[in-house]
Structure 1
Amino acid sequence: MITPLDITHRETAQQVLDLQLPSYRVEAELTGFDGIPPLRDTVDTLISCGETFRGLYLDGELAGAISYKLEKNLLDIHRVMVHPRHFRKGVATALLQSLLDSTSEAHRVEVSTGSLNHPAKKLYRRLGFTEVGEEEAAPGFWMTRFQLIREGGAG
């Protein structure tokens, strides 16, 4: 079940951090870059990040989470993470689809991932996102930006 997570509670922030670190370690391995900002987070930085979080629990364990900011017509997805124990169970798809379904007022949706994170890029394409560019986020580390324009909206 997907539920809102109150990231301002220390216990919740710790749960998210315990999910986030192994999740982003996998992305670091895929991309060959260990400077991914979520790997530097602490409970305190999560508490103060200003993002809205939702989590998906499997057998009582936080298996995945997504965070975002929603401003007017823009849904900006900041984090999509799945604990490696729960890979290939549809967790990321469920989190993304639930968020998209519940934020229809956002006509533009944006998300980024490491350019060498092929599983994430495949997922975003499958959900209808289009690549809109790449940028070098750190020397030798490239991020791919994706966008989804939904009916009734303009960029």
Structure 2
Amino acid sequence: MMKELDITDRKVAQQVLDLQLSSYRVEAELTGFDGIPPLRDTVEMLISSGETFYGWYLGGELAGAVSYKLEEKVLDIHRVMVHPRHFRKGVATALLQSLLDSTTAVHRVEVRTGSLNHPARKLYRRLGFIEVGEEETAPGFWMTRFTMVRDGDAG
């Protein structure tokens, strides 16, 4: 089940950081790039991120999390992470679908992932996101940008 996380609580922030490092190490392996910014984060960086975090729990364990910022009807998803122990259990899909369902006053949703992270790209396409471009964010490392326009929900 999805639950809002108090990222300003150091214990919670440490749990999220542990999850994040495990999750993004897999993306680093998939993309061949270990300079992914979430791998450089600290507890203090998460606490001061200004992002809203939600976690997904399985058997009492934080199995996945998502973070975002919402500004002027644009939901910008910053992090999507699942502990490798919980891959292929639908955690990322459940997190994202729950987030999309709970944010009705949103005109557009944006998310990015490493261009070589094919599982994430497939997930975003399946949820209705459209690829809108790529950018080289570090030498030889490309990120794919996705968007979803939700005109009917813009209120």
TM-score for both structures, normalised by structure 2? 0.97
User: What is the Cα deviation at residue 72 of structure 1?
Assistant: 1.9
Aligned match of 2:8 = 8
May I ask how many residue pairs the two structures share in their alignment? Answer: 154
**Partner letter of residue 93 of structure 1?**
T
**Partner letter of residue 33 of structure 1?**
F
Asked if 2 retains the 8 angstrom alpha-carbon contact of 1:65 and 1:80, the reply is yes
Q: SS in structure 1 opposite 2:111?
A: strand
Aligned match of 1:65 = 65
Q: SS in structure 2 opposite 1:8?
A: coil
Asked if 1 retains the 8 angstrom alpha-carbon contact of 2:104 and 2:153, the reply is no
Aligned match of 2:28 = 28
Aligned match of 1:112 = 112
Aligned match of 2:145 = 145
Aligned match of 2:40 = 40
Structure 2 portions without partners, runs of 5+:
none
User: What is the Cα deviation at residue 152 of structure 1?
Assistant: 3.0
Structure 1 portions without partners, runs of 5+:
none
1:126 and 2:136 aligned = no
Q: SS in structure 2 opposite 1:22?
A: helix
Asked if 1 retains the 8 angstrom alpha-carbon contact of 2:110 and 2:145, the reply is yes
TM-score for both structures, normalised by structure 1? 0.97
